[in-house]
Amino acid sequence: MASLFERLKVDCKTDWEAYTHHAFVETMGDGNLPEAAFRDYLVQDYLFLIQFARAYALSIYKSRSLAEMRGGLDGLKAILDVEMGLHVRLCAGWGISASELEETAEKGETVAYTRFVLDAGNAGDLLDLYVALSPCMIGYAEIGARLAVAQASSTSNENPYSEWINEYASPAYQELAADTIKNLDNLASETMTEFRYPRLKKLFAAASRLEADFWQMGLNAATE
């Protein structure tokens, strides 16, 4: 059976590329992203990850077996123990304290995306939830790997966003993304039908667009 993720990415190519090649991403890659945009993104992404952790907790509840529960737990731990730690560390380097992160309000784009994912999981089954989650988990790995290659061949001065790029290009995160694809395909082999594919495609496309909106939120902050 062909990979469900690859099929979704091909069928939602316009939305996927608008997300993974957004101006925020491209200017972060060449080091020209305004600092105000990155600072705003960091804070909102921390709040975003809190809600995504809830989504992975929901995946444990939605699981039908211990193996699926452990898979959900791995995703939850990756967010709580790796990604959120990265954000706290990055934010400290940019003069943003942990207390400031906790006290900042979620912006509309953050609310829209995270509640969309939680709604997809509450209304559907585990496959619906993981399809809605997949653009974030897998897309960041794709972006990180691509930007790391470009960074390695660049002759410009050190990129201030290298730590972010290197984290998502790291072998550990690439392995996490590969496991996410494998888990998605395993679920699809059991529960995906052609009848339900249009709904999954709609979820994937919407999540990709919401990711692009999230990047745009950061760019907008630089002009406010």
| Count of H-run helices and E-run strands, the chain | 12, 0
Tokens for 35, please give them.
């600092």
Q: Is 224 a catalytic residue?
A: no
Give the residue with greater pLDDT, 210 vs 167.
210
**Are 24 and 218 a contacting pair, CB within 8 Å?**
yes
3-state secondary structure 174-201: HHHHHHHHHHHHHHHHHHCCCCCHHHHH
pLDDT score, position 1: 55
Q: How far is CA 28 from CA 2, 50, 135, in A?
A: 33, 24, 19
Q: 28-38 b/e with 16+ CB inside 10 Å = b?
A: bbebebeeebb
Q: Is 91 a catalytic residue?
A: no
User: 3-state DSSP helix/strand/coil percent for the chain, to nearest 5?
Assistant: 80, 0, 20
Average predicted confidence (pLDDT) for the chain: 91
Q: What is the CATH number of the domain that holds 95?
A: 1.20.910.10
**Are 169 and 152 a contacting pair, CB within 8 Å?**
no
Per-residue pLDDT of 47-105, as tens digits, reads 999 999 999 999 999 999 998 899 889 889 888 988 788 788 888 988 898 888 889 99
pLDDT band (50, 70, 90) for residue 224: confident
Mean pLDDT of 164-189: 90
Domain count across the chain: 1
Per-residue pLDDT of 134-174, as tens digits, reads 999 899 999 999 999 987 776 666 889 998 999 899 998 89
The catalytic residue among 109, 142, 167, 211 is 211
The catalytic residue among 83, 91, 136, 167 is 136
Domain of residue 185 covers: 4-221
Instruction: Count Cβ atoms below 10 Å from residue 187 Cβ, excluding itself.
Output: 21
pLDDT score, position 36: 93
Helix (H) / strand (E) containing 8? helix 4-11
Type of residue at 205: A
